[in-house]
Chain A
Amino acid sequence: EAGVTQFPSHSVIEKGQTVTLRCDPISGHDNLYWYRRVMGKEIKFLLHFVKESKQDESGMPNNRFLAERTGGTYSTLKVQPAELEDSGVYFCASSQGMDQPQHFGDGTRLSIL
C-alpha cells in the first residue's frame, strides 16, 4: 500500500507570501495529524482530523494557519502570510484509529526568507 505522501518536499518563499502544503494519507485512514518541527526544537502537534472534521486544533500557532480536509481524504495546510518563525519541517501522519500507530510522511521543509 502507498504510504503517507506530502507535497512539496521543500518550499522556499519570502516573508509575507502564501504557501499551501498538501498531505495524502494512507487510503482508509480516517485520522490525519499535522506536526511541525522548528529547527533545534522538538516535533510539536498542530492538529488532528477525523475524516473531514477537526477533532483537536489546540496546537495551531495562530490564525495565519488554516487546515482543511475536504471530503475526508487529502488535507492542506495553508500559511498566509508566512513569517520567518514559520520555517521548519511540517509532518503529516495518518492512522486507522486514534489508538493505532501513526504513519508519517517524509515531511515538507518550509523555508521563509
Chain B
Amino acid sequence: AQSVTQLDSQVPVFEEAPVELRCNYSSSVSVYLFWYVQYPNQGLQLLLKYLSGSTLVKGINGFEAEFNKSQTSFHLRKPSVHISDTAEYFCAVSPTSNTGKLIFGQGTTLQVKP
C-alpha cells in the first residue's frame, strides 16, 4: 500500500518570499509523483510530475520539486511567491504498475500575504 504525508496543513508566507511545501511518501513499489494545485472553486490542475530521469522537476508557474529516493520525499519549492499562488496544493503518488489511480496527501494551503 502507499501513503502520502504533507507535513504542513497551512503555510503562510509573504509575497516575494521563497516557499517550500513538504511531501513524504511511503511505498513498497516504484511510484510516479505529482503535485496538483486547486484554486478556489476550481478543479485540480497539474503543477508538475516525476516519472523518471532527473530528480529536479520543473513545472508551471515557476514551481519546481526534487525527488529524493533515500528520504522518500518530493518537496515543492518556489523562489518567490505571488498573491496569485494562494491555493491548496496536493502531493500525490501513483504506483508505476497500477491502473494510474492517484493516492493523495491531505493538502497544504498556501496563504500568500501582501
Interface string of B20-47 (1 = CB under 8 A from A): 0000000000001010100001111110
Among B4, B32, B101, chain A packs the most CB atoms within 10 A around the CB of B101
In the complex, A95 has a CB within 8 A of chain B: yes
Residues of B in contact with A, size category: 20 to 34
- Contact present for A31 and B100 (CB under 8 Å): yes
Residues of chain A lying within 8 A (CB to CB) of residue B103: 45
- Contact present for B104 and A98 (CB under 8 Å): no
Interface string of B45-86 (1 = CB under 8 A from A): 110010100000000000000000000000000000000000
The chain B residues found within 8 Å of chain A, CB to CB, are 4, 32, 34, 36, 41-46, 49, 51, 90, 96, 98-107
- Contact present for B43 and A45 (CB under 8 Å): no
Q: List 22 A-B contacts (CB under 8 A).
A: A4-B43, A31-B100, A33-B101, A33-B102, A41-B106, A43-B44, A43-B104, A45-B101, A48-B99, A56-B99, A56-B101, A59-B101, A97-B100, A98-B98, A99-B51, A99-B100, A101-B34, A102-B102, A103-B46, A104-B36, A104-B45, A105-B43
In the complex, A55 has a CB within 8 A of chain B: yes
Residues of chain A lying within 8 A (CB to CB) of residue B42: 106
The chain A residues found within 8 Å of chain B, CB to CB, are 3-4, 31, 33, 35, 41-45, 48, 55-56, 59, 91, 93, 95, 97-107
Give, as a whole number of angstroms, the nearest-CB distance from A18 to chain B. Answer: 25
Smallest CB-CB A-B distances: 9 pairs: A98-B100, A104-B43, A104-B44, A43-B104, A106-B43, A45-B101, A56-B99, A42-B106, A42-B104
Residues of chain B lying within 8 A (CB to CB) of residue A33: 100-102
Task: Pick from B36, B44, B101: contact of A48, CB below 8 A.
Answer: B101
Residues of chain B lying within 8 A (CB to CB) of residue A59: 101
The residue of chain A having its C-beta at the shortest distance from the C-beta of B90 within the complex is A43
